[in-house]
């Protein structure tokens, strides 16, 4: 693998290709990985196919503008994307602690990009080149496109389009939009006049020039000062996130209007095939070899993207605002061609690690009416129960997986991206579950019930607990019939809006009864733009505009998390306090239904011999002290 397999990253690369001036310079917050699981790889290759030259500035030094000039001033403009993950989520945990590693950086090194990277990068570009056109995109831009609650500063921030000083924001997947914008810039149209491209946003100062059919959102000032207004704005954004029936959205910020065009239509099967069959190097840039490469490639190197979009509608998920609810898929032929490429790699060991997307077992739109009418405005496809018009059919996916299994050199094809178990149950044939168990998992199947309390699940937008229980029993029954010993590994979430301490205790009791001990638990993370984040910030469910309980304090979040790992001795104090606070002292004792033993008799896990303080500590506990 040499540098000619990649796009230019230096002046020397440009000279070797005979390029004097690039059409676009793409500034990215991730390491440069030319693989179709990385947004920057797709966008740069799409532009290259359209005849434009693109150079990559990866993880530039941002303390000054010097590093942003290493490829010179581009002929048409700069593209900016902070990375595959929002930079704040990438750097900080839900507890706001700094992460030690970054899978998207060389060698997994943390701290290679700034907080709010898109804003920082754009400001440095402006310092270097003044009025050069700047187009921003990616997950950070998509989710922060309007006034949004920012968990890390605990305040409502204005649109990233304003804070970054960019000319155009592309939201969603972006292939169509970026190609159209590139064509217009190449034709001499100023960036300030590019205002009608679907899937983009721009700033407008002239009220008379606003779209005639646009919907006015509550202004930045209103959303920042009034939580009900924020909830209303969130509700409208979700309702209009559809390429068929969605209207332009407008938000006033001081004297400027942030204008969003309707979303771009999903790519057709042929267009998706074309995108995923571009000449990717399928690995990280050779310059990272000396530090061990880029860890993120390991999860995707032998995985295949088969579909886009998700009609699952989980309230805490960013997919609705980014990829949308309309599902589109690649052809079998295209996927098989990619699989053959994987089997020819020197380090291929016979295993395709995944064939899927946001939800692996979604291959087509959920119903026939979506092509003409778009997705329903006020109804979900699967929540609270599957829509009567839902087409639950795995036959195409089963056929695809069988073809992949039959390829030479392929030993096993795994399905590791999310499988919606309620959709599996909705398919009355039951064939997919048997195929999955027989051929596509190895010992464990990861699923995401998230909780067992129907109260909490309702706020998450997840199916009721009895749906998961029905799936669990079918899974276990099918394994027995097939002579398999395989297990479900449920993903669980603590502290989601609407989830009370009693709900968390209910989940702990379920773990007690099933014998499951989760090694990892995901605390709810208020990421920008989601319905759940709106609940967290406002205390209002934007779907109903009714109040919702929110676990906000650090103590309660810690208690809810500890309850899910109540067997861990380190969590004893938190679990004890949680059970007392929830009025569930009956779960403290020696009966088999109890979660923990009484405090005084838990000396084996409470013992502390340091500095001879054990007896003093035991006495203080016995007097009801030392419990905070």
Give the angle subtended at the CA of 242 by the CAs of 426 and 145, to the nearest 5°.
120
What is the structure's pLDDT at 194? 98
Q: What is the mean pLDDT of residues 512-516?
A: 94
Q: Is the pLDDT of residue 551 over 90?
A: yes
What is the structure's pLDDT at 257? 98
Q: Is the pLDDT of residue 278 over 50?
A: yes
Q: Which residue has the higher pLDDT, 603 or 166?
A: 166
Q: What is the mean pLDDT of residues 332-348?
A: 97
Q: Percentage of residues in the chain with pLDDT exceeding 70?
A: 95
Cβ-in-10-Å burial (0-12, 13-18, 19+) of 335 comes to: buried
Q: Is the pLDDT of residue 87 over 70?
A: yes
Confidence band for 431, pLDDT divided at 50, 70 and 90: very high
What is the structure's pLDDT at 605? 44
Return d(Cα 356, Cα 445) in angstroms, integer: 14
Model pLDDT for residues 234-254, shown as the tens digit of each residue? 999 999 999 999 999 999 999
Confidence band for 622, pLDDT divided at 50, 70 and 90: very low
What is the structure's pLDDT at 98? 97
DSSP labels, 543-566: TTTEE-----SHHHHHHHHHHHTT
Whole-structure pTM value? 0.92
Smallest CA-to-CA distance from 239 within 213, 223, 215 is with: 215
Strand intervals (E) in 275-396: 283-284, 303-305, 307-308, 328-329, 351-352, 354-356
Q: Is the pLDDT of residue 54 over 70?
A: yes
**Tokens coding 492:** 């669980």
What is the structure's pLDDT at 378? 85
| CATH number for the domain running over 3-200 | 3.40.50.2300
Confidence band for 2, pLDDT divided at 50, 70 and 90: low
Strand intervals (E) in 451-565: 487-494, 522-523, 540-541, 546-547
Confidence band for 624, pLDDT divided at 50, 70 and 90: very low
Q: Percentage of residues in the chain with pLDDT exceeding 90?
A: 91
Helix (H, G, I), strand (E, B) or coil at 412: strand
Helices marked H in 359-460:
370-373, 395-405, 421-426, 431-435, 454-460
Model pLDDT for residues 103-138, shown as the tens digit of each residue? 999 999 999 999 999 999 999 999 999 999 999 999
Return d(Cα 360, Cα 520) in angstroms, integer: 22
In sequence order, what are the beta bridge partners of 303? 354
What is the structure's pLDDT at 179? 98
Average pLDDT over all residues of the chain: 93
What is the structure's pLDDT at 613? 40
Return d(Cα 371, Cα 284) in angstroms, integer: 38
Q: What residues does each domain of the chain span?
A: 3-200
Phi/psi of residue 369, nearest 5 degrees: -80, -15
């Amino acid at each position: 693998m040499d540098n000619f397999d990649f796009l230019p990253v230096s002046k020397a690369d440009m000279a070797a290709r005979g390029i004097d001036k690039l059409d676009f310079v793409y500034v990215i917050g991730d390491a440069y990985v030319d693989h179709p699981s990385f947004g920057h790889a797709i966008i740069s290759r799409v532009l290259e196919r359209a005849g434009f030259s693109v150079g990559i500035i990866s993880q530039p030094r941002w303390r000054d503008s010097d590093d942003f000039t290493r490829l010179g001033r581009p002929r048409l403009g700069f593209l900016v994307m902070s990375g595959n993950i929002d930079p704040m989520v990438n750097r900080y945990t839900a507890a706001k602690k700094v992460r030690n590693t970054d899978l998207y950086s060389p060698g997994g090194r943390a701290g290679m990009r700034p907080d709010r990277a898109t804003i920082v990068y754009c400001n440095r570009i402006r310092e270097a080149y003044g009025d050069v056109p700047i187009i921003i995109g990616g997950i950070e831009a998509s989710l922060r496109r309007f006034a949004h609650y920012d968990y890390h500063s605990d305040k409502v921030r204005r649109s990233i389009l304003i804070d970054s000083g960019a000319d155009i924001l592309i939201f969603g997947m972006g292939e169509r939009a970026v190609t159209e914008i590139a064509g217009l810039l190449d034709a001499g149209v100023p960036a300030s006049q590019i205002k009608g491209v679907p899937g983009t946003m721009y700033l407008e100062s002239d009220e008379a020039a606003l779209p005639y059919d646009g919907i006015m959102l509550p202004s930045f000032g209103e959303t920042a000062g009034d939580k009900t207004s924020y909830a209303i704005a969130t509700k409208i954004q979700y309702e209009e996130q559809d390429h068929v029936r969605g209207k332009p959205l407008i938000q006033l910020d001081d004297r400027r209007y942030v204008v969003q065009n309707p979303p771009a239509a999903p790519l057709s099967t042929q267009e998706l095939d074309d995108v995923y069959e571009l000449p990717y190097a399928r690995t990280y840039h050779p310059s990272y070899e000396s530090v061990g490469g880029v860890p993120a490639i390991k999860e995707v190197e032998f995985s295949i993207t088969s579909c886009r979009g998700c009609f699952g509608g989980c309230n805490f998920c960013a997919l609705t605002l980014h990829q949308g609810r309309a599902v589109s898929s690649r052809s079998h032929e295209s996927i098989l061609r990619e699989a053959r490429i994987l089997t020819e790699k020197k380090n291929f060991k016979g295993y395709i690690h995944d064939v899927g997307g946001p939800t692996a077992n979604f291959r087509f739109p959920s119903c026939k009416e979506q092509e003409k009418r778009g997705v329903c405005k006020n109804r979900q496809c699967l929540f609270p129960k599957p829509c009567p018009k839902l087409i639950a059919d795995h036959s195409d996916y089963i056929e695809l997986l069988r073809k992949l299994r039959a390829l030479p050199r392929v030993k096993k094809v795994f399905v590791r991206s999310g499988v919606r178990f309620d959709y599996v149950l909705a398919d009355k044939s039951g064939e997919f579950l048997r195929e999955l168990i027989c051929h596509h998992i190895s010992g464990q199947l990861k699923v995401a019930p998230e909780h067992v309390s129907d109260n909490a699940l309702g706020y998450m937008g997840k199916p009721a607990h009895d749906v998961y229980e029905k799936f669990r029993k079918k899974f276990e029954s099918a394994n027995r019939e097939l002579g398999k010993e395989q297990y479900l590994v449920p993903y669980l979430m603590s502290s989601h809006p609407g989830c009370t301490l009693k709900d968390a205790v209910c989940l702990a009791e379920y773990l007690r009864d099933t014998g499951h001990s989760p090694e990892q638990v995901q605390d709810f993370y208020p990421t920008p733009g989601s319905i759940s984040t709106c609940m967290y910030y406002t205390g209002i469910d934007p779907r109903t505009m009714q109040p919702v309980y929110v676990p906000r304090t650090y103590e309660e979040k810690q208690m809810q998390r500890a309850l899910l790992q109540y067997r861990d001795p380190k969590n004893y104090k938190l679990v004890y306090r949680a059970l007392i606070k929830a009025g569930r002292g009956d779960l403290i004792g020696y009966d088999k239904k109890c979660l923990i033993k009484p405090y005084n008799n838990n000396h084996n896990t409470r013992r502390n011999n340091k500095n001879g303080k054990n007896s003093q500590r035991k006495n203080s506990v016995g007097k009801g002290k030392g419990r905070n």
